[in-house]
Amino acid sequence: MARGAKFLLVEPKATTPYPPLGLMRISSMLKSEHPKCMVRWQVGCGLPDVAFRPERIYVTSLFTWDLDVVVRTVRFYRDKFPRAEVLVGGVAASLAPDFVAAQTGVSPHVGIFPRAEESPPDYEMTFGRSFTESLTSTTRGCPHHCSFCAVPRLEPAFAHRDGWDRDLRSGSTRIVLWDNNFLASPRLDADADTLRRLRKKVDFNQGLDARLFNKARSDLLRGVDVDPWRFAFDSVKIEPFLVKAISRAKRLSNREVRVYVLYNHLDTPEDLYYRLDRINRMKALAFPMEYRGPEPGRQKLPGPNWDTSLLRAFKLSLLYYYHRGMITESRESFLSIYGHNAQEFAEKLHSIYLYDKQLKRKKKDPE
């Protein structure tokens, strides 16, 4: 590559609050490998300025349901700059590499990119977001293999990332950790210690594994300003662990407790009601997460025990009555929105669905 090489980093679609960390790392990697290079970012199809003619273009990807946009973007740059090398990688391309190759003629980079992994994020690459946090993770992979989760395919080896603190941004007061399973880390003692010494707010963004949040591990987090506490309640089987984890977290600090709740996988609506109710009774916030498969495509498929109308009604209930998709603590609101038992839950969802249908009909044919 010539001196003064030009690289373009492309995020096909920006739907998340943070920029693509993979491309931020690739930017630092390029800047250290090509000290005179120019690196620019772009969201969607376009150019940072008309005169910028990149020699190499890195297109990332995140969610598999947005792969159509990734394909369109790769084609756009391939046509616009036929002499440039167009590379594609990231989570969605790694989950559906054959689809991407067939649609674009570009074979994607699959899985993590070790040279980039060692590079700290380039915080100048904002991709249009305004944020002040440090983004990092102390580990990659996860020792578990939950059937609904893409992590075992994306990051099959569970490994510690030595030197993760090089990723911290100077002056930031909050660290967002994207560890899939922080508590399973073989270096948990040392990393919890580092977090305590840093004296910043820490968001274990992907949740702490309640099954591993025992007395010894929760003691390690004493003095770390965890904000908010996050756990997951993906199956009723982990209820005893979750109950203990929430009370341990509450003993450690009075920060908000949020619980991710998977639904539309192998669960039933009754099972979802049970878990939501349990969380609500523990005065924690439930953050429902609808399961969607790792296949390319926009179509939302109902799980074996769900149907499209129930799914829509549940989504609407979150939209109508709650803010940012989270079911807040108020017991009174919970009971009035979702009812006192699973049967009332199904009835309430059914009436929300019918009400929405009526509204749509009125919009279509106003009197």
Asked if 340 touches ligand SF4 (CB under 6 A), the answer is no
DSSP type of residue 327? B
Q: Using CA atoms, how far apart are residues 309 and 305, in angstroms rounded to an integer?
A: 12
Asked if 282 touches ligand SF4 (CB under 6 A), the answer is no
Which residue in 67, 142, 183, 249 binds ligand SF4 (CB under 6 A)?
142
Q: How far is the CB of 236 from ligand B12 (least distance, A)?
A: 19
Asked if 152 touches ligand SF4 (CB under 6 A), the answer is yes
339: left (phi over 0), alpha (psi -120 to 50) or beta: left
Smallest CA-to-CA distance from 179 within 128, 232, 140 is with 140
Is the CA virtual torsion 42, 85, 114, 108 positive or negative? positive
Contact window for ligand SF4 (CB under 6 A) among 95-103, 143-151, 305-313, 350-358: 143-151
Asked if 146 touches ligand SF4 (CB under 6 A), the answer is yes
Which residue in 78, 80, 144, 153 binds ligand SF4 (CB under 6 A)?
144
Residue 178 binding target from ligand B12, ligand SF4, none, CB below 5 to 8 Å by type: ligand B12
Is residue 168 within 8 A of residue 134, CB to CB? The reply is yes
| Token pair for 152 | 């075992």
Burial (CB < 10 A; 0-12, 13-18, 19+), residue 240, is exposed
Is residue 100 within 8 A of residue 106, CB to CB? The reply is yes
Q: Using CA atoms, how far apart are residues 60 and 90, in angstroms rounded to an integer?
A: 5
- Interaction pattern, residues 286-305, with ligand B12; x per rule: CB under 6 A: ---xx-x-x-----------
Q: Using CA atoms, how far apart are residues 58 and 26, in angstroms rounded to an integer?
A: 9
Asked if 149 touches ligand SF4 (CB under 6 A), the answer is yes
Which residue in 30, 91, 184, 249 binds ligand B12 (CB under 6 A)?
91
Asked if 241 touches ligand B12 (CB under 6 A), the answer is no
List interacting residues with ligand SF4 (CB under 6 A): 142, 144-146, 149, 151-152, 180-181, 209
List interacting residues with ligand B12 (CB under 6 A): 15-18, 20-23, 25, 58-60, 62-64, 87-92, 94, 109, 112-113, 116-117, 149-151, 154-155, 178, 180, 205-206, 289-290, 292, 294
